[in-house]
Chain A
Amino acid sequence: METLSALGHGFTVALMPYNLMWAAVGVTVGTAVGVLPGIGPALTVALLLPVTYNLEPTSAFIMFAGIYYGAMYGGSTTSILLNAPGESGSIVTAIDGHAMARQGRGAQALATAAIGSFVAGTIGTAALTFVAPLMVQVALLFGPAEYFALMVLALTTVTAVLGQSLARGLASLFLGLSLGLVGIDMQTGQARLTFGIPELLDGIDVVVVAVGLFAVGETLYVAARHRFEKEEIYALKGSIWMSRADWGRSWKPWLRGTFIGFPFGTLPSGGSEIPTFLSYLVEKRLAKHPEEFGKGAIEAVAGPEAANNAAAAGVLAPLLSLGLPTSATAAIMLAAFQQYGLQPGPTLFDSNPELVWGMIASLYVGNVLLLLLNLPLVGLWVKLLVIPRPWLYAGILVFATLGAYTLNNNVVDLVILWVIGLVGFGMRVLDVPVAPCVVGLILGPLAEQQFRRALAISQGDASVFLTHPISAGLLIVALLLVLGPMLLRRRKGAAGA
């Protein structure tokens, strides 16, 4: 009850016209930076920090929160339309989202992403309001052994994106795992596979790889096949609204995505991509038509998009209740708190209730604003697909190249982008799926570091993975996820015979 009245007071703060204006500015800027690859919410908030110095802290944070949520909405747009994920959290969206766009269902993909983001953002914010401290306590139970088990669980996603041939899928996965090794090894500080190129010391950026494999590789492939194929227009077929069937297929993935995403956000080493992987896996396992996955299944857009937004809400839980930043944006928001002489943590709720509850309330408001902003934009965005194909693809290449450069202001990233783009082209020619490569690249390094940390702490005793209950539980779930479908298939086979 106390929470509700505090939240009510928060709404009176957030709904003041002045603060409402900053929320609107925030969500608009956020959507814009989400759309542009290479510029994320973290950089944007950092750039805005000095400017907001003279602003009321409450208004500034309402704007920052708007940027943060807005970027999560915007990130899906380029994934779906251009196959160029703007953030790592929307990489999975590109797989089926872009396939939908190519079938003339771009508008439905964008709509299910936007509405899913709204649902997840709202439920996530509610969870933040009521169960944040509890979630944070759970998150603290995660040590390296638990994280490693979690990464193993996430790696089972790979089984959902392997494609027809196991050998080709695994080849792609191992390419990703090897790319993940490049750079300084965190535990020993030694360089691996950098070939004396200093720019490789920090590893290869996941977004560069995803954009290279998806956007550049795909574009080169289509260009190479252009002569042989009839020009088909990606533009709309039929209504831009989601049909009754689309709604029916979307609402469960939204909810499941939300419940997968939020807890991951609260984990300090969670990573915004992982819940999207898991959501994809879950949807494929539960879908009536798993064969549609990879070819434009709406569930595969609805679930992951909800998951990344719910994770964004989850990130705020440890930030506000413990002062514990779990993402780059959260780290900068922590710096912003300090700029105002505020210290997030258990005391912040008591010392600055107006700020905290105003900000939380503004998240609800921001979600509504984002939905109002994004749904009408859908009609506008899909017009992009009417652009004649050669122009559109040229545009994608320029856009991808600019985005890769902006990430670190580094020419080496451009070389990496194009080399990977060529590899992606080759993979497509040879019918090797590219998604496992991205999964391996993201999860491989995380799993390795946590595995080694766990063993360092246990002084080499590998039984920690089984003696820690959470870790053991996660490993068992992972095992079931891999073996379950096989067993089911065998039973079906036996029943049929």
Chain B
Amino acid sequence: MSAMLLNKEKWPEFVEKLAGKNILAPQADGDAMRFAAVAEGDVPALDYNNTRVPPKGALFPQTETMLKFQAGGEQVEEPQLDRETVVLGLRPCDARAMTIVEKLFKWDIDDPYYVRRRDLSTLVGLVCNEPGMNCFCPSVGGGPASTEGLDLLMTDLGEKYLFEAVTDKGEALLSETRDLMEEADGNVAKEKEKLVSEAEQKIKRTVDTEGVAEGLPGLWDDPLWQKVSASCLGCGTCTYLCPTCHCFDIQDETEGFDARRLRTWDSCMFDEYSLHTSGHNPRPTRKERTRNRISHKYSYYVDKFDVIACVGCGRCTNLCPVNIDIIETIRQVKEAL
């Protein structure tokens, strides 16, 4: 796999070379950053910490048309998904989250929308030189320069970007833009190594997950769930902003006779999520819903897919309006074991 250097002066030309593809990159959205389509001629800047909303929408849009039809009809039409997409500058944790979610979307039966979007996408990651204050990716199997889930990894070396191909798809994108770049030599590898180890040292928060997956089911009636969920508002922010949260609702929407079946992100923190039509709810309060959210990520998912469904991005902790901290929650779980 190739390793190439791009002088930052040539960054606009690099982006220009990708014209025709759907380019998603972090862009300012009010006071936060968010992945959005790059308008023709625009040059996205990659000097950002992480986006508030993860880039999971690139493969799993917040709202996605599944089928189009006439209300009351019997013929359905599928959306055409054929535009190549390049996601520029996503963080390694968010790419790792995509590999985790993909396990579910490919479990026995392929989810055609997710799989198709992944096939059409090239994921270009960006090493975290400056991890955030609630980042804890190394504790859950990741790292600031993890290549898992990526096709191509970029490292910001100051004057230059280092591009390292991870997959054939990444290699193909490099070959399209190769004439703007120069080969990277051995010194560059050392430079990158130094940056990464500095970044790793900047990650101060950790979780100890040992025994958590096996132990969580036994804590079913533990008072910790009451404690952890006591301040929860049930707003769903933790799930919407979680790069591994993949739950969705399916609804039909009609406008006259034109109708579509769509899916939208849903949240296990909402009452309606598991509400039966009879009025019975197996998870009637935020206590049960919190227990399910944590158990799903740290135990059920491990049981099914052999990986913790948390990548340590820290978003749920950063943005919880009542300061519920997943690291603290897992610490309490450990304590109760």
Does B bind A? no
Interface of A with B (CB < 8 Å)? none
Interface of B with A (CB < 8 Å)? none
